[in-house]
Chain A
Amino acid sequence: GAGVSQSPSNKVTEKGKDVELRCDPISGHTALYWYRQRLGQGLEFLIYFQGNSAPDKSGLPSDRFSAERTGESVSTLTIQRTQQEDSAVYLCASSQQRYNEQFFGPGTRLTVL
């Protein structure tokens, strides 16, 4: 079956521009997570969705970061006025229920010049 997909796979942008990253979770998975991985670091939690609501946004680094999820499926992570420190691989994961194993997508590599 289809796994978690993310687009684009790579994004290069200029400092100050806005970017939108997309995640398509596994069909039927109600929980969706966004993480990011900076170079040489572990994965850093950003936000968690249960259905279309986001009960935990504690990992969003600043108000330039926002995310939404519609129809209990697709999610978009938006970064406004990108900064060089936003450069990272952004990973999306989904799970069938709240405490189940998380399945990860391949990630979007964001480079801010």
Chain B
Amino acid sequence: DQQVKQNSPSLSVQEGRISILNCDYTNSMFDYFLWYKKYPAEGPTFLISISSIKDKNEDGRFTVFLNKSAKHLSLHIVPSQPGDSAVYFCAARAFQGAQKLVFGQGTRLTINP
């Protein structure tokens, strides 16, 4: 049962434009969401997070939006840069119970010059 879904396996965006990566979840117990970025042969690197009590969190070029009623979050990268080309994973955590992160399948973002 896939509790966190990233329905787009890949996304191609022109340098300088906005990249929007989407993530849907099914478990209403999730109360904290994270985005990780992964380069080949490296472990995932934390990018940005958002608590369920917020609907937006911004850090430089990266903004995460959370729509709890739709159980949907998105990561906006603007402006997109070639170094942003990587696989992006959405992850979620439930405060009560397990400490584990539940990950989506990932979206491969390619930024074209």
A interface residues (Cβ-Cβ under 8 A, vs B) = 4, 31, 33, 35, 40-45, 48, 50, 55-56, 58-59, 91, 93, 98-99, 101-107
Provide the bound-state CA to CA distance between A98 and B79, in Å.
34
Q: Which 10 A-B pairs have the closest CB atoms?
A: A104-B43, A42-B103, A45-B100, A43-B103, A42-B105, A104-B44, A56-B98, A106-B43, A101-B46, A105-B43
Provide the bound-state CA to CA distance between A101 and B44, in Å.
12
Provide the bound-state CA to CA distance between A107 and B39, in Å.
12
| Pair A4/B43 contact, Cβ less than 8 Å | yes
Provide the bound-state CA to CA distance between A4 and B106, in Å.
22
The size bracket of the interface on B is 20 to 34
**B28 on the A face (CB < 8 A):** no
Provide the bound-state CA to CA distance between A27 and B104, in Å.
29
- Which of A4, A42, A105 is most buried by chain B, counting CB atoms within 10 A of its CB? A42
In the complex, which residues of chain A have a beta carbon less than 8 angstroms from the beta carbon of B42?
Answer: 106-107
Smallest beta-carbon distance B31→chain A, Å:
10
Contact of B99 among A33, A42, A43, A104 (CB under 8 A): A33
Taken residue by residue from 88 to 103, chain B's Cβ proximity to chain A (1 for < 8 Å, 0 otherwise) reads as 0101010100111111
| Pair A98/B99 contact, Cβ less than 8 Å | yes
Smallest beta-carbon distance A94→chain B, Å:
11
Taken residue by residue from 24 to 66, chain B's Cβ proximity to chain A (1 for < 8 Å, 0 otherwise) reads as 0000000010101000011111100100000000000000000
Given that A33-B99, A48-B99 are contacting pairs, would A42 and B106 also be in contact in the complex, using a CB cutoff of 8 Å? Answer: yes
Provide the bound-state CA to CA distance between A107 and B42, in Å.
7
In the complex, which residues of chain A have a beta carbon less than 8 angstroms from the beta carbon of B6?
Answer: 42
Given that A43-B89, A58-B98 are contacting pairs, would A107 and B4 also be in contact in the complex, using a CB cutoff of 8 Å? Answer: no
Q: Which of chain A's residues has its CB closest to B104's CB?
A: A42
In the complex, which residues of chain B have a beta carbon less than 8 angstroms from the beta carbon of A104?
Answer: 36, 43-45
